[in-house]
Amino acid sequence: MTTIRLDSVSRTFGAVRAVDDFSATIEEGKLFTLLGPSGCGKTTLLRMIAGFTEVEAGSIWFGDRRIDTLPAHRRNTGMVFQNYAIFPNLTVEGNVAYGLRARKIKPAEIPGRVEKALERVRLVGYGARWPHQLSGGQLQRVAIARVLVIQPSVLLFDEPLSNLDAQLRVQVGQRLIEQQHCRFDDEDAGDRHAL
**Residue that is last in its domain, among 45, 75, 105:** 75
**Residue that is last in its domain, among 75, 91, 123:** 75
The CA distance from 14 to 65, in Å, is 30
Say whether both 36 and 127 belong to one domain: no
Say whether both 8 and 63 belong to one domain: yes
pLDDT value, residue 46: 95
Say whether both 71 and 97 belong to one domain: no
pLDDT value, residue 161: 75
- CATH number of the structural domain spanning residue 113: 3.40.50.300
Number of domains in the chain: 2
pLDDT value, residue 9: 98
**Residue that is last in its domain, among 75, 97, 118:** 75
> With a cut of 50, which residues of the chain have pLDDT below it?
183-193
HSE toward the beta carbon, residue 15, CA cutoff 13 A: 0
The CA distance from 48 to 54, in Å, is 6
Cβ distance 136 to 176 under 8 Å? Answer: no
Say whether both 69 and 86 belong to one domain: no
The residue length of the chain stands at: 195
Say whether both 88 and 36 belong to one domain: no
In 4-91, alpha helices (H): 42-50
Cβ distance 42 to 158 under 8 Å? Answer: yes
What does DSSP say about strands 77-80 and 154-157: parallel, antiparallel, or unpaired? parallel
**How many CB atoms are closer than 10 A to CB 167?**
8
The whole domain housing 58 covers: 4-75
Cβ distance 85 to 136 under 8 Å? Answer: no
pLDDT value, residue 167: 82
pLDDT value, residue 24: 96
The CA distance from 170 to 178, in Å, is 12
